[in-house]
């Protein structure tokens, strides 16, 4: 659906984005992460056609953004970090105006997005009277007004209370059934709750591109049996385990070299053969904030 090929953007001698390539498939929800100044906003602007790359290209559903930006932008929904709004307009008035710009049936489209973003109680209120949270919901509403195939949402839950945040997360997941979604959240919980895949930028370069479930899974397995059970004897001679450590709570941590599922199967077989009950056998997870810190700061053991 979306393909960035060797994207580079220079401002004079400064290189904001350097040789970044990735592909995003239909229906994926991808988190675009990085410290301030890492190049996230620049990449999002190039994906939308708002900013031309110094070199490289972006294709959306096979259409080159630089060659035919209007075709791509007609399929695009965009929520920037600071949403430009007309404060004197009402919520419904602003959405009707946006619908006309988009060339869609205004009454039907506005009614639909007001319901989806739960803005009915504020529909007739001037925008300048809205709280930050309602303004953010209005920003999401205008982004999905024309039922786009491609959504870029910069901090979509910024300013929302916990209930609104959960509603927005559910909405984004539903939208992914018909749209490809790129998020740029600053809160790691948003990534954990919504994203299928993570791209992490560092100093304008793509430092990591990995599925979330693979990123947070470590190479460790946690095993729990009866306290007196000796797991070391049961697993003796298996070369796939580089380190086996008994923890203070009586469980065991096992470092795996290679396939985790195969390793778990070997452990279960050996434990049963040794007469050890398997109370727990699970893969441990890495903390996403720690992974982000390691990758964005270039710590070598991040992978």
| CATH code assigned at 259 | 3.30.70.100
- Model confidence at 177, in pLDDT bands (50, 70, 90)? confident
> Within this chain, do residues 207 and 232 fall inside the same structural domain, yes or no?
no
Q: Is the pLDDT at 189 greater than 90, yes or no?
A: no
* 3 state SS for 135-180: HHHHHHHHHHCCCCCEEEECCCCCCCCHHHHHHHHHHHHHHCCCCE
For residue 270, what are the domain limits? 215-288
73-114: per-residue pLDDT in tens?
A: 999 999 988 888 999 999 999 999 999 999 999 999 999 999
Contact assessment for residue 111 and residue 135, using Cβ atoms and an 8 Å cutoff: no
From 160, 193, 214, give the residue that closes a domain. Answer: 214
State residue 287's pLDDT score.
79
The span from the CA of 141 to the CA of 110, in Å, is 9
From 154, 184, 214, give the residue that closes a domain. Answer: 214
The pTM score is: 0.78
> Within this chain, do residues 185 and 154 fall inside the same structural domain, yes or no?
yes
In a domain? residue 205: yes
**Average pLDDT value over all residues in the chain:** 90
> Within this chain, do residues 33 and 78 fall inside the same structural domain, yes or no?
yes
From 193, 214, 235, give the residue that closes a domain. Answer: 214
In a domain? residue 88: yes
Kind and range of the H or E run holding 63: strand 63-64
> Within this chain, do residues 129 and 258 fall inside the same structural domain, yes or no?
no
State residue 299's pLDDT score.
55
Phi then psi for 13, rounded to 5 degrees? Answer: -85, -15
Q: Is the pLDDT at 130 greater than 70, yes or no?
A: yes
Q: Is the pLDDT at 302 greater than 70, yes or no?
A: no
In the chain, the number of structural domains is: 2
């Amino acid at each position: 659906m979306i393909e960035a090929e060797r994207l580079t953007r220079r401002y004079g001698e400064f290189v904001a984005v350097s040789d970044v390539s990735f592909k995003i498939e239909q229906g994926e929800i991808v988190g675009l992460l990085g410290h301030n100044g890492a190049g996230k906003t620049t990449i999002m602007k190039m994906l939308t056609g708002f900013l031309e790359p110094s070199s490289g290209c972006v294709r959306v559903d096979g259409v080159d953004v630089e060659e035919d930006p209007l075709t791509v932008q007609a399929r695009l929904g965009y929520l920037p970090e600071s949403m430009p709004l007309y404060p004197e307009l009402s919520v419904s008035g602003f959405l009707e105006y946006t619908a006309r710009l988009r060339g869609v049936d205004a009454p039907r489209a506005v009614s639909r997005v007001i319901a989806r973003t739960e803005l009915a109680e504020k529909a007739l209120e001037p925008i300048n009277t809205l709280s930050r949270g309602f303004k953010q919901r209005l920003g999401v509403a205008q982004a999905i007004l024309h039922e786009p195939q491609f959504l870029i949402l910069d901090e979509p839950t910024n300013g929302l209370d916990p209930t609104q945040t959960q509603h927005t997360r559910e909405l984004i997941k539903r939208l992914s059934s018909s749209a490809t979604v790129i998020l740029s959240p600053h809160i790691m919980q948003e990534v954990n709750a919504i994203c299928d895949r993570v791209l992490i930028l560092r100093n304008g370069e793509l430092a990591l591109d990995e599925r979330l479930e693979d990123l947070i899974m470590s190479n460790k397995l946690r095993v729990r049996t009866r306290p007196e059970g000796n797991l070391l004897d049961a697993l003796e001679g298996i070369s796939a385990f580089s380190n086996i450590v008994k923890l203070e709570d009586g469980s065991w941590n096992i470092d795996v070299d290679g396939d985790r599922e195969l390793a778990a199967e070997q452990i279960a077989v050996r434990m049963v053969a040794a007469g050890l009950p398997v109370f727990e056998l699970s893969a441990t997870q890495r903390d996403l904030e720690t992974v982000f810190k390691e990758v964005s700061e270039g710590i070598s053991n991040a992978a």
